[in-house]
Amino acid sequence: MSDYKIVAIPINPRAPRANRMGPLDQLIHLTNFLAPALAVALVLAIVGPWFMSKSPSALGIITQAAINFIVGSLALALGLWFFGRDGKMASYAALLVVAASAQWAGGRGWR
């Protein structure tokens, strides 16, 4: 049985243009990489106060969404660094744990 995995192509500055990504391709890849962090951040910031209604939130929705997005993006970046590729379920689990912890701390969940 042959190996079906894609082999990494070494980056050569003299390689034909078809082998290199342009700025638009890089932007699309970055957007797709950060999309799960943005979605989780927005959902937690909007839905989170309903589940933690015993105390008023210390931060506004936009501020909490920004904090959740930043810590979620860092979790995804660490997963990419640790595993060497994007899309691992462990990275997404870390995203959820870290963003939920930031939401809990931002909503003063310990009170």
For the chain, what is the mean pLDDT? Answer: 84
**Which pLDDT value is given to residue 36?**
96
Distance (Å, whole) CA 94 – CA 89: 9
CA 26: distance to chain centroid? 16
Find the mean pLDDT for residues 63-79: 96
What letter does residue 2 receive in the DSSP assignment? -
Q: What are the angstrom distances between the C-alpha of 96 and each of 15, 51, 77, 99?
A: 40, 16, 14, 5
For residue 71, what pLDDT band results from cuts at 50, 70 and 90? very high
pLDDT tens per residue, range 78-98: 999 999 988 899 999 999 999
**Higher pLDDT residue, 61 or 49?**
61
**Which pLDDT value is given to residue 6?**
59
